[in-house]
Amino acid sequence: MAHLDASTIAVAVKSLKDAADIAKVLVGLRDAAQIKTKVIDLQSAILTAQSDALSAQHEQMVLLQQVRELQAEVAGLKQQLSSRGNLPEALICPMCRNELRVTAEHDDSTFAFAGVKVHSVACAKCSYTGDRRYRPGKGYS
Ligand SMILES: [Zn+2]
């Protein structure tokens, strides 16, 4: 994760201002040797400004990418929440909160006489599996 760093843009703006300042001095010069020196300074300042602008642009792209990823994550979570409705807690994956699927039903080994069942559940998202005690008509316990 890149840090939000406004100074990258500030550095690029300052580099451009430095280049502009050199250009202003250059316009006022008459001496050929001085002009040559200032042109070299100006080229160097422009290269620095270009490099700083690229850094700022790269950082902005990274941040935009993070915004897109977070937006997708929020949309996914919203969809999970709305599709879940009144799903019992027993059918929500304890690892990733995805909806669990009942993959098998067995009689409970201890309470089968009372009609208690065991539901094997599985998460399609994180491959969590587990068992839930189920009483027909009463739900999970
Ligand atoms: Zn899961």
Pair 67, 14 in one domain: yes
Please give the distance, rounded to the nearest whole angstrom, from the Cα atom of residue 111 to the centre of ligand 1.
Answer: 28
Pair 95, 66 in one domain: no
Pair 57, 106 in one domain: no
Please give the distance, rounded to the nearest whole angstrom, from the Cα atom of residue 62 to the centre of ligand 1.
Answer: 29
pLDDT at 5: 59
Please give the distance, rounded to the nearest whole angstrom, from the Cα atom of residue 5 to the centre of ligand 1.
Answer: 35
**Count of domains observed in the chain:** 2
Please give the distance, rounded to the nearest whole angstrom, from the Cα atom of residue 123 to the centre of ligand 1.
Answer: 5
User: Range of 19's domain?
Assistant: 7-84
Within a domain: 1: no
Please give the distance, rounded to the nearest whole angstrom, from the Cα atom of residue 66 to the centre of ligand 1.
Answer: 24
pLDDT at 2: 46
Please give the distance, rounded to the nearest whole angstrom, from the Cα atom of residue 87 to the centre of ligand 1.
Answer: 15
CA atoms within 13 A on the CB side of 52: 20
pLDDT at 6: 63
Pair 11, 77 in one domain: yes
Low-confidence ranges of the chain (pLDDT < 70): 1-6, 84-85
Within a domain: 64: yes
**How far apart are alpha carbons 62 and 107 in whole angstroms?**
54
**How far apart are alpha carbons 44 and 46 in whole angstroms?**
5
7-27 burial: b if 16+ Cβ within 10 Å, else e:
ebbebbeebbebbeebeeeee
Within a domain: 2: no
Pair 21, 79 in one domain: yes
Residues 19 and 42: beta-carbon distance below 8 Å? yes
**How far apart are alpha carbons 25 and 41 in whole angstroms?**
11
pLDDT at 48: 93
Pair 20, 70 in one domain: yes
pLDDT at 81: 76
CA atoms within 13 A on the CB side of 104: 7
Please give the distance, rounded to the nearest whole angstrom, from the Cα atom of residue 88 to the centre of ligand 1.
Answer: 15
Please give the distance, rounded to the nearest whole angstrom, from the Cα atom of residue 50 to the centre of ligand 1.
Answer: 47
pLDDT at 100: 94
Backbone φ and ψ for 62, nearest 5 degrees, come out as -60, -45
